[in-house]
Structure 1
Amino acid sequence: MEILKKVFYPTASFVFIFGLWEILSRLGVFANNIMPAPSEIWVALKDVARSGVLAQNAWASLYRVFAGFLIATTLAIPMGLIIGSKKYLHTTFNPLIQIIRTISPISWIPLAILWFGIGNQPAIFIIFITAFFPILLSTMLAVKNVDPILIKVAENFGATGNKLLFKIILPAIFPYIIIGLRVSLGIAWVIVVAAEMVGMTSGLGYMILDARNFLRTDLIIAGMLVIGLIGFALDSMLEYFEKRAKAAWGLKQQ
């Protein structure tokens, strides 16, 4: 019954919204060149899907996001563990981290193009900057808030080194880290679309910009819907990973 509710209620809301949108469009409430009907958007979506343009641009965006996100995760988690566990390192680097993290990732685009030129590298760098700081800060905060009594008890039972890290510390900080990962991946997916509108010749952001140049409102909205669906799929993927990891460590599921 619970699964039925999770499927039925969202489906009903989508049917209602898109159905109302279709009716209002056909009644002429929305101008066709500004807000085309969902049926017209569906036709545009099928056309770009059949031509291969949609898949090509979607894979280009996903590649940039995963490359930047993977680099950010690989660097941010170890750095967060080290800085968060040493008070003097936290005191030394935290002000600098707080200053840099408040700089909008979009403002890095001109420098990224100057440093890396045109291509995938600027977008990957922007995604790296976007994802790095949420992951770093969530890891630092998590390590800083680990109960020292928990570590002391584990050490008294002979847990040291890797055993202490993988059996005690990582399970304790995992809920914080996964929040940082989900937030950073969501923001990265939003930012890559904006980055692809500047100096790119592929990606969903470029596809939307190109559709705007040809006044294809139907294709613009189709691209936006695809971005939303992929973003939802990415978050669901991390949510699934979170549940599996919590089950493996015996952590409470929310």
Structure 2
Amino acid sequence: MNKLLKSFKNIIVSFLILILIWQVLVTAFNINPTLFPAPLKVLDAFKELLTTGLRGSSSDATLFSHIGISLFRFFCGYLLAVVLAVVLGLILGWFPKVFAYVNPIVQLIRPIAPVAWLPFIVLWVGIGSAPAIVIIFIAGFFPILLSTVTAVVSIDPIYLKVAQNFGISRGMTLIKIVFPAIFSQIATSLHLALGSSWVFLVSGEMVGAQSGLGFLVMDAKNCIRSDALLATMITIGLIGLVLDVLIRLFERFIAVKFGYGADRFIVND
């Protein structure tokens, strides 16, 4: 609890320092508010977005509505990527000879930026929420898949020998022994995939969507509202921070409850 309070204090102090530097720079260099608005002007934009929505926008949705839609799309794509990537990663890691044939295809597709698929995605699934969900899925799938496969392949052989000595079936060994043993490595890939998926959510919503935070970014740009644009960008960053904290708490809960590398999460208050 003390560590949590200290972390919260550090976050607040760092944000206050950032806002102070922001205000000093705007004042000292007399920056045109149209180009880069002061903190108070951005705060006014926050109030506008939260109450009435962006004035002059093609949508009358408020900021909370856009956040809700973006989070729905994010969790649909991200959770689907997590489940499929972990399951497929366990299977391919368990059968490395099969993965030897799959890996070249994965390495061919993986470097392609998810947004590069947008023209095809729009043609295949249309506009709206579907393109953003597909892009989130692509962004999160490959890091988790490759991390899971690598973790399974490099697992300490002692785990497999113990399972063999106790007569545990291969399927149960994979679920009951291998997965818990590599959970901490999978958790690291979940963090990386979460960040990249959230980034590409915004990119996906910039094309073809009529709602969401990515759409709001484009809408504020089209309305020449740099204050609303900054307010939306700050919202995106804050939600990303909250999501990272939540996944860390979930990881700790699972680790402590089921003993998956729980020693990593023991905190001496």
TM range (shorter): over 0.9
Q: Does 1:170 align with 2:170?
A: no
TM-score (norm 1): 0.93
User: How far off is 1:34 after superposition?
Assistant: 1.1
Q: Which runs of 5+ in 2 are unaligned?
A: 53-60
Task: Work out the percentage of aligned pairs sharing the same amino acid.
Answer: 41
Aligned pairs for 1:214-233 (under 5 A) are: 214-233=223-242
- Counterpart position of 1:253: 264
Partner residue in 2 for 1:11: 12
Deviation at residue 20 of structure 1 after TM alignment: 2.3
Distance in 1, Cα, partners of 2:7 & 2:236: 22
Cα separation, 2, equivalents of 1:2 and 1:69: 29
User: Do structure 1's residue 156 and structure 2's residue 165 form an aligned pair?
Assistant: yes
What's the CA shift for 1:249?
A: 3.0
- Residues 1-254 of structure 1 aligned to structure 2 (within 5 Å): 2-51=3-52, 53-160=62-169, 163-250=172-259, 251=261, 252-254=263-265
Deviation at 1:2, TM superposition (A): 4.1
The answer to whether the 8 A contact 2:90-2:174 is kept is no
Q: Which 10-residue stretch deviates more, 33-42 or 4-13?
A: 4-13
Structure 1 runs of 4+ with >6 Å offset: none
Q: Deviations over 1:219-250 (max 9, x none)?
A: 00000000001111111111111111111232
Give the SS at the match of 2:168.
coil
Letter in 2 for 1:179: T
Shift of 1:23: 3.1
Q: Deviations over 1:163-209 (max 9, x none)?
A: 53343111111111111222112111100111111111111011111
- The amino acid across from 1:160 in the alignment is S
Give 5+ residue unaligned stretches, structure 1.
none
Judged with a 3 Å threshold, the aligned counterparts in structure 2 of structure 1 residues 64 and 34 are, in CA distance, closer, same or farther, namely same
Which region of structure 1 is more displaced relative to structure 2, 24-33 or 95-104? 24-33
SS at the partner of 1:228?
Answer: helix
In structure 1, the partner of 2:56 is: none
Q: Distance in 1 between matches of 2:250 and 2:26?
A: 41
Q: Return the offset for 1:106.
A: 0.9
1:151-171 superposed Cα distances (whole Å, 9 cap, x missing partner): 111331343356533431111
Corresponding pairs, count = 254
Deviation at 1:26, TM superposition (A): 3.5
* Secondary structure of the corresponding residue to residue 253 of structure 1: helix
User: Aligned partners of 2:201, 2:4: CA distance in 1, in Å?
Assistant: 33
